[in-house]
Structures are given as structure tokens and as C-alpha cells.
Structure 1
């Protein structure tokens, strides 16, 4: 005999329509799970459309060869999403999709691109909003070196250029709005992708800067009025420290040392002590050049801390 208001066989109170509440709870749970799943999908879609960096993102490094397609575009006088003062003098640059742009981690690094007509070395300067993981967007000048412009899109392979030869040394450019209360610097002419930037003000003690998607490294709260020492480490473990960098915004401060000039040393061998170098005379548009030292950290040619996708 079943008591009034209960469902047969389970003694669980039934609803007004005779449906067991346990069944209702299951349906509600399934509905809630469906809403949650839908929200997750929508969230992912919105994140991708909003230009968010994919969870498993990394710039091209090491000896890996990537196969894909290349188109071309003209950035004009812009320095692209990497916020450089302008394009490289030879106008050989490339824009990468979100996963390889990796929130600006690829900025300032170099790729060797091979197409139907030949090879070209290009600097990463921009993010391509319509490019997937295997699609790149070359400057017009670069594209015409590896394919006929009439093709529009060409099949290519590309790989990172490790320790590319560069003219001059590391450069530093403080962002407009930077002050003793907010530190923001852009590092240039480094060749390899950067892993970390640290800075020290007059108060002493290096503080780690946070990489921003516009290719600046920032420290909230600032580190004083300067001059600053800035320690830069690339993904292969090479490290350079520049000193005497002044609080002068929107001007390039040049050093004479490049990360690519150092070779990693075995972990059992001590690093050579840093030695000061002389700096070139400043031009009217540049601030006084900082001094710089460079040393190689222990490590092999493989990049450090690369995501395992």
C-alpha cells in the first residue's frame, strides 16, 4: 500500500503531477549541466573571437619545421601589435596567428620562410587575426621573395632562426606614461624570443616584470625614478644585464651587447664574469646609451619552459 503523495516502489514524495521528485532532480541536473556546457562553449568562442591567447601557445623555437600557407599584407609605417616604433628597415616582417604570437612572446624573433621561389628571413612584428596555427601573413616585400605575388597565397615551410645575426645590441624603450610609479619597457633587437625581463631601480633588488600583449614588460607600483638595470633572458637561457637606463619615454636607448652573441655553457662550467662595454654616442633622437653585460646560462639549444601541447 502506498501512502498518499508518494511515488510507487521508492517512497519518494511525488510532485503535483505525479512525477517523482527524484526524476525531476535528475532532469534539473541534466539541464544545469547542459547550460554549464553551453556557457563553456560560448566562453571559449568569445575568448577566441576576443583575441585571447590560447592556453597552449608558444612562439616557434628550436629546430622544429612548420608547414603551412602564407599570404601577404602591408603594415605601412606601423610597428604592428608588437608596438615597435616602425617596421624593420628592410620591411621583411611577418604576422603570426594567436597561438604562435603567444601574447607577444614571439615579438622580435625571426623566422626563415621557404616558398616556391626561395627563402627569406623575417622578423615577427604583428599578430594575424585571421590566421590559424599553420597560416602566416608576410609583408609584401617578403612574400615576393618566396612566391609570385599573383599567387596570393603560397605553400610554405618555416622555422625559427636561432641566434640570428643582428646589427647592434639590445635596445630599450620606455612606454609613454611610464614613471617612477609605473615601470613599462620594451626590449628590442634581441633575436630570440624572450623568456623573462627583470628590472632594478635605485632602491636595489631585481623585480620580475610581467609581459603584456602589446610587447611591453611592466611592474606595477614602479621601481623609482631610475636609472635602471634591466636583466633579459631568452628562451634558450642566454642572459644580458644592461645598466644606466634612464626614465626617458618613447626614446630608444641602445646597448652594445646582443643575447645571440653568447653561447650556452655546460651546467658544470661557471659563467664568465660580466664585463662592461663601451656604448656608442647617442643621436639627437636617442637617450644616453646604457652599459650592458652578457652571460650565458647553463642550458642546451632547446628552449626552456616550452608548453607541452
Structure 2
């Protein structure tokens, strides 16, 4: 049956150790090692197919814990604490296959009561792969490597940010991010740290802007976004993509649009009823449709991917 969730606030910050080493584990399961100074190493994540179960929910508000606007296609997923990994999974994509077919969903929200392997889908996504009356269905799912995105990379500066406190959300990066660095006018790049509501913060600020923001994903693909202004509450669009098999870099006239900040109740669930940029080339989309099998046992409900066994690369 559809799930009833507890209230979840996107503003409950779990700070990472500043200036020290911290391990963010779980994720869709990359192990990210955040080292002193903010540099990041990451072993490429596994894209093996996993077995689990899916439920669905209706979003009460305008945003999930990842602080993204609702996708235009309404296809998204909430993950349990281990797989949400304090925001490290936000913005990645999963291919999920159920009794009726396959759907691709964006990691958008957290589900505190979901065990590893339990995916809580939007109602729209659930209905594409199963019968709504079933409430719970067996699934196969996998992390998508280098998926296409519906738009180029965008940046949103958070309300309350200033030259003395920097906070930005990055969207449409497609793969898991391993690091974000920011350079204000006349400054060198400074590493930002990620919060569990998916904003990247520099507590001492980064100057008044405009900024250069350098993002790196777990495959080592890097894009540097230039001309990002200190405009809290506005989404600043770029012309850069670093995924989907090719790099597209354009220099459109800068566009900004107001975007509401998630409220404390934004991610509660109801009972189910142009900046210029330069970027490196990303490999092609290697996703394949999973194969549906019988309903999973408790032992089969595994994390999205196992922690990478390979040595991290920097």
C-alpha cells in the first residue's frame, strides 16, 4: 500500500567536518573521501542492477530534500538514509523496471523510513511501471552513467547568501558530484562543502561575485561555470552540459528566474491518494534496461550499488 511519511525538513544541516577528513558512504554508493582543503577523490560507482521494491507518494510542497524544483516530467524518486547519503545522491538518475516496463527517475528526495533497496517513486513514475492499486511492486534498478539531462547545468544561489556566506545549488549535472569549488573576484578556488539539503557552502564567503564555479563528477568530468552572480533566489542558466555522450558549451545571454526556496514543510509527504563555461568531455550513456525477476526477499533488497572496491583516483 502507498506509504505515509513523516515530516522532513530540508534545513536540518548535518555539517561535515571542516578542514578535516570525512567519509560520505552509502550513496548510490560511491565512497567519497572529502579531504582537508576540500579536494575529493572518488572511485567510479558501480552500475550493476539491483533488486528491490517500490512504493509511491505525493509531494506535499514544491520541493524535496534535494532542493530541486519538481521535474517537468514528474519522474523522481526518494531514497532511504543510506542511499540518500546526506545529499550525495541528489541529481543522479536511476533506471527502474517493474511489472509494466521501465522508467528513468531523478534522485530528488529522502525517505527516512525506507530501507536500502526500497525506492519511493513519484505517483507518475510508479504508474509507468506498475499498477497503482498494488501499492508495492518488485523492481530492478540501476544507477545510470552519464545520462542526458533536460537542460544544461544551472546554479541557484540560496536566500541569505552574501559575499560573507556562499551557498549554491547545482542542477542538471547528471552524474554524482565529487567536488564543487568557487572563485570570487581576485580569489583562488575554494572548496565548498555539501549539506544534506544539497547546497554547497563556503562559510567564510567567496566575495561579492561574479563567480567561477568548478564542478567535478565521480568520473572526473569537470566544468567551470563563469559569470555566476550573487543573485539569491534566482536560477542562473548556463549553456554547459558535461554528460550524455558529448560536451555542449554555448554562451547564451544570461537568464535568471526566481525560484522559491524550499519551506520547512516542502518535502513532507501526503498519504498517497548566460554564463559562459568550459567543460571536459564525458563518456556516453552506458545504461541498459534491467530485467524484472520475482519479488525480492529481504536479503535481496540491496543498496543501489556496492561501495567501489577499486582504489580511489584523484
Q: TM-score, normalization: structure 1?
A: 0.72
Cα distance, 1:285–1:81 mapped onto 2, change above 3 Å: closer
1:79 to 44, 60, 63: 63
Equivalence for 2:251? 278
Two-structure CA RMSD over aligned residues (Å): 2.7
Match of 1:292 among 273, 277, 284: 277
Write the mapping of 1:143-182 to structure 2, written as runs, cut at 5 A.
143-182=126-165
Q: Is the 8 A contact 2:91 2:107 kept in 1?
A: yes
Q: 2:80 aligns with which of 79, 93, 97?
A: 97
Task: For 1:230-269, list aligned pairs within 5 A.
Answer: 230-261=213-244
Relative to its length, the structure with more strand (as a share) is 2
Distance 1:219 1:146, change over 3 A: same
- Secondary structure of the structure 2 residue equivalent to 1:192: coil
2:177 aligned residue: 194
Deviation at 1:62, TM superposition (A): 3.4
The equivalent residue for 1:57 is 26
Aligned residue pair count: 241
Structure 1 residues 217 and 307, CA, compared in 2 at 3 Å: closer, same or farther?
farther
Aligned partners of 1:179, 1:79: CA distance in 2, in Å?
23
Cα deviation, residue 116, structure 1 = 0.7
Give the match's secondary structure for 1:237. Answer: coil
Is contact 1:174–1:249 with CA below 8 Å preserved after alignment? Answer: yes
Distance 1:283 1:195, change over 3 A: closer
* Cα separation, 1, equivalents of 2:110 and 2:164: 30
Cα distance, 1:100–1:83 mapped onto 2, change above 3 Å: same
Structure 1 residue 193, shift from structure 2 partner = 1.1
Deviation digits for residues 44-73 of structure 1 (CA, Å, limit 9, x no counterpart) = xxxxxx997997412254322121110000
CA contact (8 A) 1:169 1:189 kept: yes
Contact 2:236 2:257 in 1 (8 A): no
Shift of 1:262: 5.9
1:278 & 1:139 partners in 2: Cα distance? 34
Q: 1:159 to 1:128 in 2, by over 3 A?
A: same
- The gaps in structure 1 that reach 5 residues or longer are 1-49, 265-274
Secondary structure class of the residue paired with 2:128: helix
User: How far does residue 168 in structure 1 lie from its aligned partner after superposition?
Assistant: 2.4
Residue 204 (structure 2) aligned to one of 212, 217, 221: 221
Structural mapping, 1:66-145, within 5 Å: 66-84=50-68, 86-145=69-128
Whether the 8 Å CA contact 1:262–1:294 is kept in 2: the answer is: no
Comparing both chains, which one has the higher relative contact order based on Cα–Cα distances under 8 Å and sequence gaps of 6 or more?
A: 2
State the alpha-carbon separation in 2 of the partners of residues 247 and 203 from structure 1: 15
Structure 2 residues not aligned, in runs of 5+: 1-11, 17-22, 30-44, 260-273, 287-306
Residue 308 (structure 1) shift: 5.0
What TM-score do you get using the length of structure 2 for normalisation? Answer: 0.71
Residues 242 and 255, structure 1, Cα contact 8 Å, conserved in 2: yes
The CA distance in 2 between the partners of 1:168 and 1:118, in whole Å, is 25
Would you tell me which structure has more helix in proportion to its own residues? 1
Deviation at 1:276, TM superposition (A): 6.8
The CA deviation at 1:101 is 0.6
